[in-house]
Structures are given as C-alpha cells and as structure tokens.
Structure 1
Amino acid sequence: MKILNTAELGALPKTVATPAYDRSNVTPGIVHIGCGNFHRAHQAVYLDDLFALGESLDFGLIGAGVRPTDAHMRDTLAAQDWLYSVIELDQGHSAARVIGSMVGFAEIAPGNIDLIAHMASPATKIVSLTVTEGGYFIDPATGTFSPDHADIQADAANPTAPNTAFGAIIRALHIRRDAGLQPFTVMCCDNVPHNGQVTRDAVVGLAHLSNPELAAWIAATVAFPNSMVDRITPATGDRERGLARDFGVQDAAPVTCEPFRQWVMEDYFPAGRPALEKVGVTFTPHVDRFETMKIRILNGGHAIIAYPAGLLGIDLVHDAMGDADIRAFLTKILETEVLPIVPPVPHTDLNGYKTLIINRFSNPEVADTTRRLCLDGSNRQPKFIVASIRDIRANGNAAPGLALLSALWCRYCCGTDENGAAIPANDPNWDMLQARAVQAKLRPSAWLEMITVYGDLAGDAGFAAAFTQALNDVWANGTRATIKAYLAL
C-alpha cells in the first residue's frame, strides 16, 4: 500500500470516493488558518462537494498556520499532494472519501511572511480561521477583546512581522489597501458566540494599537460574517490511521467524523464567495439563533457529560451516554434549564434538536473521547455553560444542574478521578485551575472567584449557595451519588 498522493488516486479501492473533478483546474481563493481535523472535515468537505459540481473552482484552499506545530501538518499534507481522507462513521455503516479542495499550504515561519503574501494576493477573496475558542484574546470579564496579552503587545510593537493570525491579517490588509486591492472577507469558523464580531474586534483592536487610521479603515471596509459550524470530529491517532488502512488508504493525516454536518452563515462577502448554498450551507440573517442553540445544547451538552464521565473513569463519549445516570443528567439539564432559555430558531424544533444531539453523542463508531471534551474548560465554560447560567438567573430561576456541573468541573481540575487515577493537565491554565480547585475543597467560593470564568457570579448568593452545596456533596458522597440525588429532585 503506497502513501496517498495524486498518482495513487486511481489505484485506490472503488469503495473510496475520490475527487470528482480535475484538481488542476482548482485555483486558490481562500486562505484558511488552522488546518486541524474540524476544518478538514467541515469547510474543506463542503468545498470538495461544490467543486464536484463544477462550481466555484477559483475558491481552492491554501492551508496556513501561525504556530511552529502547524509545520508538522504542512509537511504531512505536502507529502500527500495536499490530499487526505475523511471517514464518516455511523452505527452499522462507514464511508471513506479523499478530499482534494486544498491546493497548497503557506510556509510556517516567524513573521508569517509567506502567509501574508498568500493573503495579500489578488486571488484571495476569503481568509477563514479555526484557531480554537481560546484563540481570540477575549477578556472573559467583559466579553470583549483584551489588548494586554503578550502576543498582542508583541505584534503591536512589530506590525510588519506579526506572529498572531490577527497580526498577519492586518498586515495583509494593509498591503492590499496600499496596492489598491479590495479587502478580503474574514470568515471565522470557530465555536465562538457572534464569531464574526469577535474576530472583527480582535483584528480592529490589534490594528488600533499600532495604526489607528488603518484600524478605522478595516472597521469601515472589511466584512466579518457571523457563522455557526457543527460536526463532531475526534482527534486522529493510531485507530484512525488504521481505519484508513482498512479502506485501503495509507494516509498519515486521516480525519474521522460523524455523518452529520451543518454550516449556517450571514451572506456578507463583498469580495465574492463560493456557491455553498448548492451543497447544503444555510445563508441567513438569523445566525445568532442557530448559534445560541448549538452552543448551549451541543457544546454545553458535551461539558455536561464529559466531566462526570472523566471523574468516573469513562473514556469514550458513547460509553458515557450508555451510563444511565450521565444520560439522565444530560437530559434533565437540557430539558429543565437550557431549552427554556434558548430563543426560537427558524424552521427548527428545539426538542427535536435536543434528541438529535443525544443520538449524535451516542454514536459508538465515532469513538470520541471524554478527555477531548474536557479540554480547555477555562475558555469553553464561559461560552458554553456560564452564559446559560447567567440567562437562567436573569429570568429569576435556579440552575441546580449547571451548578452541579460547575462543581464537577472544579472536582475534575483537582487532578485525580474517583478511582485515584491522575488526570493529566488538560487546560492551558491547568496549574491555576488545580490550585483553585484545591482551595475550593475547603472554601468553595474560591472557584467562583475566578473572574475570568464566572465574572460577578460569585456575588449571586443563590447560585453561590447551589454551587457550594453541590461541591460539598461531590466531595462527601461522590459523583454518581450526587448526580442521583439531583435526578431525584
């Protein structure tokens, strides 16, 4: 079996779908920063579908990254002519396809010279990003861009050789403006509420630190459409590479995922866009409704099952869903606390969406891990859980289930599960979280005093009391007993 590349496409088994178009006719039009598994199973797949229709062939993808670790992905894909496989896994069925929508990858180097050159090219109409929920330099206390991070300050001091994605975008926009070129559209594809606005705040905010006039031009002329993206995509390891080999594909960077995918966007692309509506993308002015539904129910739901599972030593998401107590815990919180504060979504039944999410979590073939879902809670909790708590409390209601979930996260961050096994660091702020969690065992309010996560919720006497009781119960009685007591309420 030879490594996946253009020359080997014709030799692949007929059970593996290959690009249904001549890749030599695809030219670059999108630069995408952050070519992890989600992007490669989502945006790149939609474009592959579109190219197969003979549409928008001038919107090929140029991959990019701004971290030294991104060089490994570039090298891996370069050896495969930018090809890789996507394997959709469902109960009783799986399907493999090779994705051909990527046509290049910017070199990874300090100062991002090659990335900036690709973005400054007249052919580039869109720059898109998946840089994770924590990559937007948001001050959790205010929900707005923070200029204080060392990386932001470094780019502000040296705007011609930036090392962040946002600094590179600003530099490329500056070059295009000086050359009389129309600015590209900046399209965020991360699970961040109001992600277009958040990206705009980061770009404009950073530009303002070194060039207020350029910042004003960006604010006035550059489009930042909001979007909602969705597909469950586990990390790639030996299992996933083995699945590719089972299909007859020797791929160093395969992606596995569920069959379901969704993409909802504002139609705000002054420089032009691919005809993605022809392959299932929804363009609507109501992205915020879809976004709130997805973030509160799916992403929040992931947290609700992940932390109790992590404490109970349950490694796989579908096994967590097979645990009657965890499944009931998820269902009760969604039905009694989350769904009542999710606004109506056009042409969508929220109870039906909840059922869809539960079924997706239960898919045994995806083999997603609870550890992946527990990752980066300090950045995810404010967006996926704390936002719901605030809305529930603003309506004058209690949030006992989400208070318990917060307590379980705190207990998880102590660094051992209930079997005494060590929980390896699983957050960029792990040391701080672990120290807080240890303090909170004796003084629960110490956890809520993390302003960057909870804002002023420590001052909400009702929620603080519910959290304190929940954390004390978890330590005294254990995760399962405390969940059972909540379910009995």
Structure 2
Amino acid sequence: MSQPLSLAALPSLPSAVARPAYSRQALRPGILHVGVGNFHRAHQAVYLDELFSRGRDLDWAILGAGVRPGDAAMRRALEAQDFLTTVVEMEPSSHRARVTGAMAGFVPVGDDARGIVAALDDPNLRIVSLTVTEGGYCIDPATGAFDPGHPEIRQDAAHPEAPRSVFGTIVSALRRRRDRGLAPFTVMSCDNIPHNGAVTRDAVAGLAALIDPGLAAFIRDEVAFPNSMVDRITPATTESHRALLAERFGIRDEWPVFCEPFRQWVLEDHFPAGRPAFEDVGVTFTPHVAAFELMKIRILNGGHAAIAYPGALLGIHYVHDAMADPQVRGFLDRLEAEEIIPCVPPVPGVELQDYYGLIARRFANSEIGDTIPRLAQDGSNRQPKFILPSARDRLRTGAGVTGLALVSALWCRFCAGTDDAGAPVTIDDPNAARLVPAALAARENPAAFLALRDIFGDLADASSFRSRFENALTGLWRDGTRATLQRYLDGSFS
C-alpha cells in the first residue's frame, strides 16, 4: 500500500526512505527561488536539506516562486503535500529515496509578479535564486549580449509597476528595498549559461536602465550576482516514475524527482547579505568558477547536443540507448577528443579526459531514463551556447570543425520535422516557426539555415564552417544519418 506524501505521513514511511532530520516548524525563509522545477528540487533544495539535517542555518529555507503558468501547477502539487518532495537517486545497482523539506512555502502565482515583489519586502529574504532555463535570460543568441528589444523586456519597461518577467520582478523588488532603506538581496543564477552571474546582472541592470538609470547604477554598484556552475542530470517526471515510487517505496508524490547520484555545484563566494554554509555539504567555492563552467558547458552540454540529433534521427528515445549505439557513441567520443576538449582551458585540479570519462558514464546510466527529446529541445538557445563557441574557438586557431559542423547539420536535418524513417519529430523550440521552414529550404540550399544570423552570427561567413556544414547536410539528406556518421568515423568526411 502507498500513501500520499505529507508531513503527517513521514513517521510511517518505510525505513529505507530518508526524511528531514529537522523540525519544519523551525524553518524560516531566507532564499526566494524562481523556477521550482525538477532540477532545483534535485540540486539546491537537496544541498539545503542536508545542511538543515545537520541542524545548521535553518533561517535559509526556500520560498518558492514562479512567473510562468507551469509554476502554478507545481505550486498546487507541492502545497498539497506540505511542500515536501521525494528525490530518488537511480543507478543500475540501486535506487535511493529521500523526502526533502527545505521549502517552507510558495508565493501564489498570478497574472503578474506583484506577489513576489511584495514578498521580497521581507529583509530576511537575502538571496533570490533562479532556474529559468538557458532561454530565459533575454539574450541575443548571435552576440551573447542582453537584448533590450526582447518582448518581455519591452513589456516590463513599459509597465514596471506590474512586472511579468523574472527580471522585471527583481528590478521592482530591488527598487522597493532601495527606497525603504533595506539592504539588497543577492541574485544567484543556477542555470547553464557561461558567466551566469554576469549575464543575470546585465539583464537586471539592462532592464532597470530602461526604467530608471539611477536604479540601474544602484544595481550595478550594490547588488551581488555570483557566478556558478551547477550539474545534475534530472529528467522530466513521468507516470512510470510515480508508479515506481508508489510500488517500491510506498509513496504517492504528485511530482517526484528522479535523478542520477552525481551532483556538483561550484560557486563564487560573493554574498554581501550572507549565505548558508554550503561548503559543509559539498559545494565548491572558488574564484575560478568560469573555468569549471566552461568545462561543463562545452564537454557535458555540448556532448548532450552532439548525441541528441543523431539519436532523434535514428528513432532512439533514451539517452542510454544512444550511448549504446556504436555510431552515436563513436561520434561523441571522437568529437570530444578531437574538437571540444582541445579548446577547453585547464581547470584547477581536473584532468579533462577523466572528466569526459565521468560524463560518458553518466550519460550511459540506464536507470535515469533521460530522453533524447529532452536533449533535443530548445536548440536555437543551446547551439549558440554549447556548440558554436567551440567552433569559433577552433576557427580562430585554424583548426578543423568537421565534427562541430556535423552537429549543426544534424540539428538542421532534425528541424526539418522527420527522422530518417520519415516519422514526425517534435520541434520543441520557441523559434520553431522560423526553424522548420529554414531547415526545409536548406535541403536544396544549405545556406538557408545558416542565414539564421541571430543563431549562427559570423559563422555563416566562415568558409571552413560553411563548407563542412553544407557537405554534412547534403550527406544526411542523400545517405541518411548512419552512413554520414560512418563517413565521419572512417575519416572520409571532409
């Protein structure tokens, strides 16, 4: 028999299920987190749960918040179970379940974010943390700079009293705290973006400059935006996950989190308003966050992009099955060794080849059930962050980009909307309406896809990248994915 997750149910859970070793009544919110998805609950919330279970820093509990319609559904699910979450770590040899209780509440989600702004009047909320996805930072993908013309930015600049975006919310809350003489909170991004603290600062201060230049100056001078690198593979929750949790652990959780055992958090120690003792539960504090961040984005996130599109075109659903495919795995191994890792700068205390070995083992974890469709989504935001920078680095030194251009060609072929067998594929991308016609046109004229300048930028003008992209895309349409991958592995691809 299984039972719904709640505070009242904790004492009767099976002994194998870990649970909070602290009084929930003793918690006081110190962090407001925007974007309470699976990754946050498997990462930041787990670190805090471990810290609280040591009797430490109970005034740093999480207050959840959100600005998207999906956040309202998450709030309803968590509120019904007293804001508890079951986190299940999975590997072939074992499954381990723990109930975490680091969240003390969740701000009601409305049509605008005025409720969050009001909550941030509380001076005890000293950190605002974010997981809003790579595409949520209002960045021009071709330049990597803040885009003041982004529709969400324009909307909040015109209506600062009723913000809808996360950045409008932060600007409004910081203005209120400044005007009331309260110390500003620290803004901590937990998304996979190079220099995520600086990117967040540019978005917040950039929007503020459109509203009040004096406020923008205050934000740049007085508000901390520490950089971070975060890592844990956390797939979307499925009905099979819920069923497994009920059968194996006797818990009915409306939105459990299933994840790999590995987790990592590397953080810049810049918290003027204070912070939890994260270092006591495994967080690495270092001034060299950028080096760890670049390593992870290029090798792990770039690796995900490299296997996503050949996997999808070959009709492979699970990441571990893609890793078991000799051609897909061979493509990844060679691409990483020859084109990605050589342009990753040294990282203190890390051997890059060993790091890639760890990544490959994590990708191959069959218990996670991570999916190719998850990796393939949002390519218009991920390619400019995870693949194209490596291509630019190599072109600057005169090195080859055959494999990297093939990754982009595979993405283009995927965006045409069918796999090699002719079955439809879902293009889950905010720019799908532009990508699909450009990809279809590229079947006859490959340059049509590179003409998406907001994505490819100056790479469209680089003859070496362009010629290899065109050659790869032509081969994919003519011969199919398997034959094209084999040509690359045989060294006959130019």
- Counterpart of 1:256 (choices 250, 255, 258) is 258
2:110 aligns with 109
> What is the CA-CA distance between 1:243 and the residue it aligns to?
2.1
| Structure 1 segment 199-218 matched on structure 2, within 5 A | 199-218=200-219
Instruction: Please tell me the residue identity of whatever aligns with 1:376.
Output: D
Q: 2:4 aligned with 1:3, yes or no?
A: yes
| Structure 1 segment 70-149 matched on structure 2, within 5 A | 70-149=71-150
1:271-303 CA-to-partner distances (Å, cap 9, x unmatched) read 000000000000000000000000000000001
> What is the CA-CA distance between 1:383 and the residue it aligns to?
0.2
2:335 aligns with 333
Question: Which stretch shows the higher mean deviation, 423-432 or 474-483?
Answer: 423-432
1:283 aligns with 285
Question: Aligned equivalents of 1:25 and 1:298: distance in 2?
Answer: 39
Question: Which stretch shows the higher mean deviation, 425-434 or 364-373?
Answer: 425-434
2:377 aligns with 375
Q: 2:29 aligned with 1:28, yes or no?
A: yes
> What is the CA-CA distance between 1:111 and the residue it aligns to?
2.6
> What is the CA-CA distance between 1:179 and the residue it aligns to?
1.2
> What is the CA-CA distance between 1:190 and the residue it aligns to?
0.2
Tell whether the 8 Å contact from 2:3 to 2:250 is kept in structure 1 after alignment: no
Question: Aligned equivalents of 1:407 and 1:296: distance in 2?
Answer: 18
> What is the CA-CA distance between 1:69 and the residue it aligns to?
2.1
Question: Aligned equivalents of 2:289 and 2:98: distance in 1?
Answer: 30
Provide the secondary structure at the position in 1 that maps to 2:380: helix
> What is the CA-CA distance between 1:120 and the residue it aligns to?
2.2
1:272 aligns with 274
> What is the CA-CA distance between 1:78 and the residue it aligns to?
0.3
Question: Aligned equivalents of 1:291 and 1:44: distance in 2?
Answer: 21
Question: Aligned equivalents of 1:351 and 1:2: distance in 2?
Answer: 46
1:15-54 CA-to-partner distances (Å, cap 9, x unmatched) read 1100011111110000000001000000000000111111
Q: 2:451 aligned with 1:449, yes or no?
A: yes
1:104-159 CA-to-partner distances (Å, cap 9, x unmatched) read 00111123122112222111010000000000000122211011122211110111
- Counterpart of 1:459 (choices 442, 458, 461) is 461
Question: Aligned equivalents of 2:427 and 2:123: distance in 1?
Answer: 44
Tell whether the 8 Å contact from 1:83 to 1:98 is kept in structure 2 after alignment: yes
1:428 aligns with 430
- Counterpart of 1:350 (choices 349, 352, 363) is 352
Provide the secondary structure at the position in 1 that maps to 2:255: coil
Instruction: Please tell me the residue identity of whatever aligns with 1:441.
Output: R
Question: Aligned equivalents of 1:142 and 1:364: distance in 2?
Answer: 37
Give the TM-score normalised by the residue count of structure 2.
Answer: 0.98
> What is the CA-CA distance between 1:448 and the residue it aligns to?
1.2
Provide the secondary structure at the position in 1 that maps to 2:442: helix
Question: Which stretch shows the higher mean deviation, 101-110 or 237-246?
Answer: 237-246
Tell whether the 8 Å contact from 2:142 to 2:384 is kept in structure 1 after alignment: no
Instruction: Please tell me the residue identity of whatever aligns with 1:278.
Output: D
Question: Aligned equivalents of 1:141 and 1:402: distance in 2?
Answer: 17
2:220 aligns with 219
Instruction: Please tell me the residue identity of whatever aligns with 1:281.
Output: V
Question: Which stretch shows the higher mean deviation, 321-330 or 140-149?
Answer: 140-149
1:392 aligns with 394
Question: Aligned equivalents of 1:304 and 1:163: distance in 2?
Answer: 34
> What is the CA-CA distance between 1:366 and the residue it aligns to?
0.1
> What is the CA-CA distance between 1:425 and the residue it aligns to?
2.9
1:190 aligns with 191
Instruction: Please tell me the residue identity of whatever aligns with 2:126.
Output: K
Instruction: Please tell me the residue identity of whatever aligns with 2:139.
Output: I
| Structure 1 segment 306-321 matched on structure 2, within 5 A | 306-321=308-323
Question: Which stretch shows the higher mean deviation, 378-387 or 235-244?
Answer: 235-244
Question: Aligned equivalents of 2:142 and 2:387: distance in 1?
Answer: 15
2:65 aligns with 64
Tell whether the 8 Å contact from 2:67 to 2:165 is kept in structure 1 after alignment: yes
> What is the CA-CA distance between 1:211 and the residue it aligns to?
0.7
Tell whether the 8 Å contact from 2:401 to 2:464 is kept in structure 1 after alignment: no
Question: Aligned equivalents of 1:57 and 1:366: distance in 2?
Answer: 31
Question: Which stretch shows the higher mean deviation, 23-32 or 107-116?
Answer: 107-116
1:440 aligns with 442
Tell whether the 8 Å contact from 2:107 to 2:116 is kept in structure 1 after alignment: yes
Provide the secondary structure at the position in 2 that maps to 1:442: coil
Q: 2:407 aligned with 1:405, yes or no?
A: yes
Tell whether the 8 Å contact from 2:195 to 2:227 is kept in structure 1 after alignment: yes
Provide the secondary structure at the position in 1 that maps to 2:443: helix
Question: Aligned equivalents of 2:19 and 2:119: distance in 1?
Answer: 27
Question: Aligned equivalents of 1:272 and 1:317: distance in 2?
Answer: 40
Tell whether the 8 Å contact from 2:304 to 2:375 is kept in structure 1 after alignment: yes
Tell whether the 8 Å contact from 1:17 to 1:96 is kept in structure 2 after alignment: yes
1:408-461 CA-to-partner distances (Å, cap 9, x unmatched) read 100000000011111123111112111010111111111111111111111101
Q: 2:152 aligned with 1:169, yes or no?
A: no
Question: Aligned equivalents of 2:483 and 2:33: distance in 1?
Answer: 46
Provide the secondary structure at the position in 2 that maps to 1:239: helix
Instruction: Please tell me the residue identity of whatever aligns with 2:444.
Output: L
Instruction: Please tell me the residue identity of whatever aligns with 2:67.
Output: V
Instruction: Please tell me the residue identity of whatever aligns with 1:115.
Output: I
Question: Aligned equivalents of 1:243 and 1:286: distance in 2?
Answer: 40
Instruction: Please tell me the residue identity of whatever aligns with 1:425.
Output: I
Provide the secondary structure at the position in 2 that maps to 1:148: coil
> What is the CA-CA distance between 1:240 and the residue it aligns to?
1.2
Instruction: Please tell me the residue identity of whatever aligns with 1:445.
Output: A
> What is the CA-CA distance between 1:68 and the residue it aligns to?
2.1
Question: Aligned equivalents of 1:285 and 1:402: distance in 2?
Answer: 30
Question: Aligned equivalents of 1:219 and 1:103: distance in 2?
Answer: 30
Question: Aligned equivalents of 1:141 and 1:375: distance in 2?
Answer: 18
Question: Aligned equivalents of 1:340 and 1:178: distance in 2?
Answer: 50
Q: How many residues align?
A: 489
Provide the secondary structure at the position in 1 that maps to 2:58: coil
Question: Aligned equivalents of 1:238 and 1:281: distance in 2?
Answer: 32
Tell whether the 8 Å contact from 1:110 to 1:161 is kept in structure 2 after alignment: no
Tell whether the 8 Å contact from 1:185 to 1:271 is kept in structure 2 after alignment: yes
Question: Aligned equivalents of 1:29 and 1:66: distance in 2?
Answer: 19
- Any stretches of 5+ residues in structure 2 without a counterpart? none
Provide the secondary structure at the position in 2 that maps to 1:187: strand
Give the TM-score normalised by the residue count of structure 1.
Answer: 0.99
Question: Aligned equivalents of 1:67 and 1:117: distance in 2?
Answer: 18
> What is the CA-CA distance between 1:160 and the residue it aligns to?
1.3
Provide the secondary structure at the position in 1 that maps to 2:8: helix
Instruction: Please tell me the residue identity of whatever aligns with 2:64.
Output: G
CA RMSD of superposed structures (Å): 0.7
